Amino acid sequence: MTITAVVLAEDNDGTNQSVYTITLGATPAANALILVALVVKDSGGDNPPRPTVAGNSLTYVFVDETPGSDSRRVFLFRAMGASPTAGDITVTFSNSQDIVHWAITEWSGVDTSGTDGSGAVVQSVNDEDTGTTTITVTLAAFGDATNNVSYISIGTLTGSGTRTQESGYTELVDDSAGAVGQATAFKIGEDTSPSYDTSVTTDHYAVAVEIKAAAAAGATDPGWFQSIGGWF
């Protein structure tokens, strides 16, 4: 099954606070993977603490985060449920932040096994590069090189310049504000080295994941076979 992506929300809030409320453009679909990518700048110049994410009668589970060697960091959360409800998403930190960027995307055609999207997110890797114009994240070989998706979410130390996704990728979000930049993109099919370029030299922070496609309709379990006398 082909994976498709829809952006539910993209924006930023530069209010110095510890709780951020995000309004979605639509109610999350049943049994779709929801990815919440956050690029955060801490108001005190420290590493931003990992927040909690809540809303829509879903459980948002932490996936990955960048090391955060300065005051900026990328966080990624996932969720999936049979009966999501309408409403806002709340992101809560243990201390005030300077600015939070968000890219919330919905993915259909994914594996729905496990809990809260665990079957849909196969692997995740984070990386951080300082003083460069490119960041590349290295993933392991894909379980399905044709149908699974490579997804990358980046943050930049500066909001200036342009961010350009790798050839073959579809960009979902590109946003700048408060001396921070954010961008996300994806590609259907295996890419173990997703990357992003910027037009200026800066620090980059990135999380990349492999998203697993649902089995094709009519696919059979290779563990079952037929022999004389019936099925085994």
User: Digits of tens for pLDDT over the chain (232 positions)?
Assistant: 799 999 999 999 999 999 999 999 999 999 999 999 999 998 777 789 999 999 999 999 999 999 876 788 999 999 999 999 999 999 999 999 999 999 999 999 999 999 999 999 999 999 999 899 999 999 999 999 999 999 999 999 877 788 999 999 999 999 998 788 999 999 999 999 999 999 889 899 999 999 999 998 765 544 433 444 444 3
- In this predicted structure, what is the pLDDT of residue 211? 98
Structure letter (DSSP) for residue 45: S
CA 117 distance to own-chain centroid: 12
Distances (CA, A) of 110 to 77, 90, 180: 16, 25, 31
Q: Global pTM?
A: 0.92
CA angle, 188 then 194 then 197, to 5°: 120
The C-alpha atoms of residue 81 and residue 87 are separated, in whole angstroms, by 15
Q: Is 83 helix (H, G, I), strand (E, B) or coil?
A: coil
The pair of three-digit structure tokens given for residue 114, joined into one six-digit string: 């496990």
CA dihedral over 204, 67, 213, 85, signed as positive or negative: negative
The pair of three-digit structure tokens given for residue 23, joined into one six-digit string: 């309004």
* Whether the Cβ atoms of residue 91 and residue 19 lie closer than 8 Å to each other: yes
- In this predicted structure, what is the pLDDT of residue 103? 98
- In this predicted structure, what is the pLDDT of residue 128? 93
The C-alpha atoms of residue 179 and residue 176 are separated, in whole angstroms, by 7
* Whether the Cβ atoms of residue 34 and residue 106 lie closer than 8 Å to each other: yes
- In this predicted structure, what is the pLDDT of residue 218? 62
